[in-house]
Amino acid sequence: MKMGVLMFSFVRLMFLCIFINGSLSKLERLEHPVTKSDGSLNILVVGDWGRKGGFNQSLVAHQMGIVGEQLDIEFVISVGDNFYDDGLTGDTDPSFEASFSHIYTHPSLQKQWYSVLGNHDYRGNVSAQLSQVLPQKDWRWFCCRSFVLCSGMVEFFFVDTNPFVEKYFTDPGNHTYDWNNVLPRDKYISNLLHDLDLEIKKSRATWKIVVGHHAIKTAGQHGNTQELVDHLLPILEENKVDMYINGHDHCLQHIGSDGEIQFLTSGGGSKAWRGIIQPWDPKELKLYYDGQGFMSLHVSHSQAKFIYYDVSGNVLHQYTLSKKKSKRFSLF
């Protein structure tokens, strides 16, 4: 009965995401119940994964399951590029099962997945991923263009970063993007930035985390997304956001300075780009790993700790932010 109620709620929200969260860009708010007695939250973050198990996707999924069980996670966040190479063709596309349902089978991963869209997803039928049909096939699936997720002391602000990238409109090459419910682009972006700013400003959460597909700061192949540096970053800085989490670059990465926003890339869900790294200030670049893996996040009232794991489950890097002492420190 409980599962049926949850599915009904998410189906209804899917409908709203498709038909309301377009040009009007009104951000939907979701609540994910806190289950731990101390109010803490454990989650996993993975991106750039949907390759039907190939390029070590299945191995990453296996390790996610092991870590997910150890941490007793509440949910999983996907930072986009959910289905390669060109998204889904429709809500009956077998790639959904082949890249998602049949891959993330560990019992610990049978939790809600909250997803944003990546540029590869926009090359397919976007409405398919936002559809109310997919959660009927696999109740874990939830995808929306932009939304707010509240879970106790944490608020996650999911942002559709794809329309910001001008070259997808002016120089798409051989790719075709599905811009239904996005055009006119300028209005979509303006509304989204306005609504995001309002949502963050009114938030009383201890921790504020923004999630998108494209990187704001990265030493990876794609480089900084200048449109996000110009338009999104000022909002994050003004509102003292704690973290920005993204994918897009197929690596695991942590850029940040003490007391500033931490920029976290978790784009190692399958195919990685070995040996591709751009020069970056070593004082800021705390991790750059050009292989597959994923990230965990543990949040309590006083601390937020994130850990990066490789495809074998080895810990690559961990870092803790502290609210209690207004201080941020690295463990190693």
Annotated binding site for Fe cation: which residue ranges?
48, 81, 84, 119, 213, 248, 250
CA distances from 294 to 102, 127, 183, 227, 289 (A): 19, 27, 33, 26, 11
Helices (H), the chain: 2-19, 57-71, 95-96, 126-130, 134-137, 167-170, 185-202, 226-231, 233-238
Number of neighbouring beta carbons within 10 Å of residue 267: 34
Q: Is 222 a catalytic residue?
A: yes
CA nearest neighbour of 233 among 202, 263, 273, 199: 263
Please give the Cα distance from 189 to 182 (Å, whole number).
Answer: 9
DSSP structural state of residue 116: -
Structure tokens that stand for 48 in this block: 């750039």
The answer to whether the beta carbons of residues 95 and 138 sit under 8 Å apart is no
Q: Active site residue: 106, 222, 231, 298, which one?
A: 222
Binding site as annotated, residues: 48, 81, 84, 119, 213, 248, 250
Q: What is the distance of C-alpha 240 from the center of its chain?
A: 19
Residue type, 166: E
The number of angstroms, rounded, from the C-alpha of 151 to the middle of its chain's C-alpha atoms is: 15
**C-alpha to C-alpha distance for 142 and 158, rounded to whole angstroms:** 12
Residue type, 329: F
Phi, psi of 22 (to 5 degrees): -105, -120
CA distance 161 to 259: 25
> Which residues have a catalytic role annotated?
222
